[in-house]
Amino acid sequence: MYPRKIRAMLIAGNWKMHKGSSETREFCAALRARLPTTEGVDVVVCPAYTSLHDALGMLAVTEIGVFAQNTHWEREGAYTGEISPAMLHEIGVGGTLVGHSERRQYFGETDESTARRAQGAIGAGLDVIACVGETESEREAGETESVLRRQIRAIADAVSEDDRDRLLIAYEPVWAIGTGKTATPDLAEEAHRVIKGLLEVPVLYGGSVKPDNAAELLGQPSVDGALVGGASLEVESFAAICQAAIHS
């Protein structure tokens, strides 16, 4: 189970559609050796559904948590191909991502479905990292703030105040995901302030976070952690980002 602490900083590794069961076991064994303690920083990995069980087994004795990458909102029902939050909770998964931009872009995820997934997951006892962020054309058109307002409002309307201690937001500008283009620390700070003005929860930054830019991004006052894609696939780079959080 995800070890809950006072949330100073959270680093989450989003593996996307990478790492089957044996690669997951190998990675977790190496991460355990490389990161024997997380010194007050919350660290989680988000494997594919079929690798969750392996990650949970390998990391059971550590402070490192395991989250899913998505979940349905209902407990059970006629939703072929979906996984419910109760199913995740039953095997010991501590939380889940929802509304990642790749889900919005390729699988028809909307503000509304993202909000429903967030609410359903929290209702089932999971922590939630809900992803928001503008596209390049929205930023160029000066719409960043209005896009963030719309995305955050949908989540805030769905998740009651009493449930918000299980909610985190990840600000991931879509143009920075997997592109090597990172938001400048100032730009990230500005967007995080907008989000925190709308919803008082921790806000992670995501989008090409690497060992060499992590310390500066994590050093911003409104950045409460990072959602890491590409750099979370190698133990060395993921551990280096966790170390940057430990020392920030």
Catalytic residue numbers?
100, 172
- Which one of 158, 172, 217, 223 is in contact with ligand PGA (CB under 6 A)? 172
Nearer to ligand PGA, 111 or 172 (CB): 172
Asked if 154 and 167 touch (Cβ cutoff 8 Å), the reply is no
Could you say whether residue 70 binds ligand PGA (CB under 6 A)?
A: no
Residues whose CB falls within 8 Å of the CB of residue 65, separated by 6 or more in sequence, listed in order: 1, 2, 3, 42, 43, 44, 45, 59, 94, 95
- Which one of 173, 206, 211, 225 is in contact with ligand PGA (CB under 6 A)? 206
- Which one of 118, 177, 223, 246 is in contact with ligand PGA (CB under 6 A)? 177
Residue number closest to ligand PGA, CB atom: 229
- Which one of 228, 239, 242, 245 is in contact with ligand PGA (CB under 6 A)? 228
Show the site string, 103-142: x = touches ligand PGA by CB under 6 A, - = not.
Answer: ----------------------------------------
Q: What is the token pair recorded at 113?
A: 């479905």
- CA dist 240 to 8, 100, 111, 218, 236, Å? 18, 24, 33, 13, 6
User: Of 208-227, which residues contact ligand PGA (CB under 6 A)?
Assistant: 208-209, 227
Could you say whether residue 241 binds ligand PGA (CB under 6 A)?
A: no
At residue 171, φ and ψ (nearest 5 deg) are -90, 110
User: Of 4-63, which residues contact ligand PGA (CB under 6 A)?
Assistant: 14
Length of the chain: 248
Could you say whether residue 173 binds ligand PGA (CB under 6 A)?
A: no
Could you say whether residue 87 binds ligand PGA (CB under 6 A)?
A: no
CB of 97 to ligand PGA, least distance (A): 8
Q: What is the DSSP string of 5-23?
A: ---S-EEEEE--S---HHH
Nearer to ligand PGA, 79 or 107 (CB): 107
Using CB atoms within 10 Å of the CB of residue 240, give its burial: 0 to 12 exposed, 13 to 18 middle, 19+ buried: middle
Q: What is the DSSP string of 126-165?
A: -EEEEEE---HHHHHTT-HHHHHHHHHHHHHHHS-GGGGG
Which residue in this structure is represented by tokens 């931009």? 101
Residue ranges that bind ligand PGA, judged by CB under 6 A: 14, 172, 177-178, 206-209, 227-231
